[in-house]
């Protein structure tokens, strides 16, 4: 069983719903069994997001909130790893026709429409005008593009696929900000 300090696991999204990281809360064996014993939240998120859908663990739910990565396996074991204090993870599934509602990204269950597609992206800080991301990226097999952004900003995100384009305002300021953006329709 996990300690009383562990926050409830957030799986309500797509699932059935810089600084030194703080210590891991929860079951160390869960991390070891999935090959994450020496990894931090940033590394685990990048690894799970990039896995082909067919290779994703079937017995693990991995959800990203604005402040942590929360893991739970089918045995009920849980672990929570803090995100870097100066970084925010946003996973974006631009779409043309089909989407789903989501708030907190599930690395192991969320699926987007545009799988393995080359998409031009731009992320521009709304206050400073600084270009944070720009270029062409290939969406992961799950249909998502992952962005590590500075914490504490608002920005404009633009995605373009062939003759389709769309944009959205994003925020990395609050603890309840979205980590899963599925409302960016390309028209």
> Whole-angstrom Cα distance, residue 98 to residue 114?
9
CA atoms of 50 and 47, how far apart (whole Å): 5
- Work out the mean pLDDT of the chain and round it to a whole number: 89
Question: What's residue 28's pLDDT?
Answer: 84
Say if residues 18 and 88 touch (Cβ distance below 8 Å).
no
Range of lowest pLDDT (17-21, 136-140, 166-170):
17-21
Asked if residue 154 lies in contact with residue 145, where contact means CB atoms within 8 angstroms, the answer is no
Cα separation of 144 and 109, whole Å? 11
Q: Band of the pLDDT at 186, cuts 50, 70, 90?
A: very high
pLDDT recorded at residue 14:
56
Indicate whether 8 pLDDT > 70: no
pLDDT > 70? residue 52: yes
- pLDDT for the residue 24: 73
Residue appearing with tokens 């849980």? 78
Please check the confidence at residue 10 and state whether its pLDDT lies above 60. no
Q: Per this entry, what is the length of the chain?
A: 187
Structure tokens at 117: 């597609």
Q: Where are the domains of the chain?
A: 1-187
Single pTM value for the model: 0.87
1-187 fold: Immunoglobulin-like (2.60.40)
């Amino acid at each position: 069983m996990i300690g009383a300090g562990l926050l409830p696991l957030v799986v309500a999204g797509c699932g059935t719903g810089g600084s030194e990281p703080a210590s891991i809360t929860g079951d160390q064996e869960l991390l070891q069994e999935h090959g994450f014993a020496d990894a931090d939240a940033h590394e685990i998120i990048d690894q799970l997001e990039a896995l082909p859908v067919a290779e994703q663990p079937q017995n693990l739910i991995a959800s990203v909130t604005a402040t942590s990565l929360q893991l739970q396996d089918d045995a009920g074991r849980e672990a929570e790893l803090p995100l870097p204090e100066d970084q925010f993870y946003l996973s974006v599934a631009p779409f043309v026709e089909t989407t789903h509602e989501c708030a907190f990204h599930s690395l192991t269950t969320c699926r987007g429409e545009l799988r393995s597609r080359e998409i031009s992206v731009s992320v521009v800080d709304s206050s400073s005008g600084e270009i944070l991301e720009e270029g062409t990226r290939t969406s992961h097999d799950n249909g998502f593009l992952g962005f590590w952004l500075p914490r504490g900003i608002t920005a404009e995100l633009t995605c373009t696929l062939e003759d389709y384009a769309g944009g959205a305002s994003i925020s990395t300021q609050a603890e309840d900000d979205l980590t899963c953006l599925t409302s960016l329709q390309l028209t």
